[in-house]
Amino acid sequence: MKISVFWFRRDLRLQDNTALFHALNSEHEILPVFIFDEEIISELPKDDGRISFIHESLQAINQSLNTFNSSIRVEKGNPMEVWTQLISKYEIDTVFANKDYEPYARKRDTEIHQLLAKNNIAFKLYKDQVIFEESEITKSDGLPYTMFTPYKNKWHEKFQYIDSPPLPFPKKPNFKEKSFDLPALNALGFEKSGIHVQPYTLDAISDYENTRNFPSLDSTSYLSPHLRFGTIGIRQLIAQIPIANTPFINELIWREFFMQILFHFPEVTHHNFKSKYNGVKWRNDETEFQKWCDGQTGYPIVDAGMRQLNETGYMHNRVRMITAGFLCKHLLIDWKWGEAYFANKLLDYELSSNNGNWQWAAGTGCDSAPYFRIFNPTEQIKKFDKNLEYINTWVPEFNSLEYPLPMVEHKFARERALSVYKEGLSSVPFK
Ligand code: FAD
C-alpha cells in the first residue's frame, strides 16, 4: 500500500507544523521519520547537549504518536543512503518536509529531491520556521535588504496575525500504524549530556525593553534552542505575544533578518559580508584565544560570559556582544575562530544568527557596529552589572589573588585595534 513520509528535521513538534499539517491532510497514511545525519553529528562529542535535546524531543513526539497507535522511525546515517533504503522498503507517494535555509541543508535537499524524483516520488517543502522567508520581504526593486531597520519596518507593515495563525492538528491523524521503538541514546552512539536546554518562558518579557540587557535579571525568554530545533512553532509563539511588545518582536525579526541574509548571501559562511575588511590583519594568537575560551582573560564580564557558556551552553545576549567584541577588537582574533567556538558550545547554535552576530561584532557584517565602536569591558560592567551579581555567579574568585590580571590593557588594545582596522581598510580598494 502506498504511504507518504513526513521527514522531521528542525521542527520537532506535532503542533503548528506546516509540512505535517499538509501531510496529514493528504490522502495517504503518514510515516514519520527522523534521520540523525552523520555528516553533522560525526563532528560532535558523544555527550553533546543538543543531541540529548533532540533525543528528548523525539521521545516526546513518539509518546504522542503512540497515543495514535503510531511511532516514529529513527535512522542514523548519510541521508542519501537512508533515503535509498526507505525507497526500496516502502511504496512512497510523497515526502513532506519543512524548508531549511542553511547552505548544507539546501544542497542536501536538492540531492534528495533528485533521488526522489528519479523514483517518481514527490518532495514537498514548506515555509515553517519563519513568518517571512527568502524574498518575501525585499526592497521595492526586489533586492534583499542588508540593513535591519528598513527590513524590520517592512516586516511590521506586512505582518498580520490573521495571515499566520497557528496550524491545527487533526483529532484523528492518519499516521501509519506503530511499528518502531525509539532507539535509546546509547544505541545511537551518544551519551546523555549534563548540559540541558531549559524550558522557555514568556513571563519575563512584559518589561523586556527595560530588563533585557541586564544578565543578572535573567529576564529573557530562553526561546532560542526551542526555535532552533522547532520545539515551538513560530506562529504559535507570535500568537502569544502582544504586538505592542515591539521590542521583543523586533528580536524575533533579527532572527528572520539573518536567515534571509544567509539565504541570499550564503558566502557569508566563510567570508566577510563586507569585503573591504578583508585586509584586516588578525593577530590570531592561539594562547590568547585559549584564555578567552577558558574565561581567564582577567576581564570579569568577559570571563563570566565564557564560563556561563562553557558550563551551561547558554550566554546572555549582552555578554555575547561583549565577549565577541573583546575577541575581535581587544585580541584581534578572526571572528571565524570565535564563531566556531560558539557553534561548538551554544545549545541554540544557529548558523545564520551566529554568523550574523559575529560579523556584527567584528564590524565586517551587514549593518554591523562600526569598527571604531569598541566596548570598554569595565564600563559595560558599570552599565549592565553594577552590583556584580552576574560576575559573582560565574567568577566568584574575581576579587582574589587567584584571579588573573587583565591579559591586555584596554586603552592599548583599543588603539591597536583602531590602527589595525584602519590599515586593513586602506589596503583593500573600496568597492
Ligand atoms: P530573548 O532575548 O528572549 O530573544 C528572543 C528570541 O529572539 C531569541 O530566542 C532569538 O530567536 C531572537 N533573538 C534575540 N536576539 C537576537 C539576535 N541578536 N540575533 C538573532 N536573533 C535574536 N542566537 C541564536 O539563536 N543562535 C546563535 O547561534 C546565536 N549566536 C550569537 C552570537 C553572538 C556573538 C551574539 C552577539 C548573539 C548571538 N545570538 C544567537 C543572538 C542572541 O544572543 C540569542 O538569540 C539570545 O541570547 C537567546 O536568548 P533568549 O532566547 O533568552 O533571547
Residue 223: CB within 6 Å of ligand 1?
A: yes
Active site residue 272: no
CB of residue 152 inside a 6 A radius of ligand 1: no
d(CA 296, CA 293) in angstroms, rounded, equals 8
- DSSP label of 363: T
SS3 372: coil
The distance of Cα 22 from the centroid of its chain, to the nearest Å, equals 25
Considering the candidates 38, 282, 344, 392, report the single residue annotated as catalytic: 282
Assess whether 7 carries a catalytic annotation.
no
Which residues, 6 or more positions from 122, have their beta carbon under 8 angstroms from its beta carbon?
93, 94, 95, 116
Give me the pLDDT at residue 164, please: 87
Phi first, then psi: what are they for 323, rounded to 5°? -65, -40
317 CA → ligand 1 middle, Å: 6
**Residue 360 designated active-site:** no
Q: What is the pLDDT of residue 26?
A: 96
In a mutational test of the pocket of ligand 1, which residue from 249, 317, 350, 373 has the highest number of ligand atoms less than 8 Å from its CB? 317
- Closest Cα to atom 15 of ligand 1: 251
* pLDDT on residue 162: 82
* 335 among known catalytic residues: yes
Structure confidence at residue 86 (pLDDT):
98
Cβ–ligand 1 contact at 255 (below 6 Å):
yes
Candidates 155, 292, 335, 337; catalytic one: 335
Using one digit for the tens of pLDDT, what is the confidence trace for 85-124?
A: 999 999 999 999 999 999 999 999 999 999 999 999 999 9
**So what's the pLDDT on residue 117?**
98
Q: Which residue has its alpha carbon closest to ligand 1 atom 13?
A: 251
Q: Provide the pLDDT for residue 430.
A: 58
Ligand 1: residue of 228, 257, 258, 348 to mutate (most ligand atoms within 8 A of CB) is 348
Nearest alpha carbon, ligand 1 atom 49: 222
Pocket of ligand 1 contains residue 361 by CB under 6 Å: yes
Told to judge if 358 belongs to the known catalytic residues of this protein, a careful annotator would answer yes
Integer Cα distance of 396 and 389 in angstroms? 10
By the 10 Å C-beta count (0-12 exposed, 13-18 middle, 19+ buried), 373 is classed as exposed
Which residues of the chain are modeled with pLDDT < 70? 430-431
Sequence-ordered list of residues with C-beta below 8 angstroms from that of 185, at least 6 positions apart, any chain: 51, 52, 55, 191, 192
Most distant pair of Cα atoms in the chain: their distance: 73
Q: Radius of gyration over alpha carbons of the chain, in Å?
A: 23
Nearest to 10 by CA among 229, 256, 234: 229
DSSP element (H, E) containing 193: none
Which residue(s) pair with 5 in the sheet? 31, 95
Phi, psi (deg, nearest 5) at residue 124: -110, 120
Ligand 1 pocket member 317 (CB < 6 A): yes
Three-class secondary structure of residue 376 per DSSP? coil
What does the block give as the cell for 299? Answer: 576581564
d(CA 51, CA 344) in angstroms, rounded, equals: 12
Q: Is 21's C-beta closer than 6 angstroms to any atom of ligand 1? A: no
Taking the CB of residue 349, how many other CB atoms lie within 10 A of it?
17
Ligand 1 centroid from CA 361, angstroms: 13
Note whether 246 and 207 are within 8 A (CB).
Answer: no
Does ligand 1 come within 6 angstroms of the Cβ of 353?
Answer: yes
**CB atoms < 10 A from the CB of 140, how many?**
6
Q: What is the grid cell recorded at 335?
A: 571572528
What span, in angstroms and rounded, lies between the C-alpha atoms of 361 and 363? Answer: 5
Catalytic residue among 245, 310, 317, 344: 317
Three-state DSSP at 238 gives helix
β pairing state of 73-77 and 92-98: unpaired
Query: Given ligand 1 and candidates 101, 228, 251, which is best to mutate, with the most ligand atoms within 8 Å of its CB?
Result: 251
Determine whether 155 is an active site residue: no
- Cα(189)–Cα(58) distance, integer angstroms: 16
Report the 10 Å Cβ neighbour count for 378: 12
Contact 29, 176 (CB under 8 A): yes
How many other CB atoms are there within 10 angstroms of residue 247's CB atom? 13
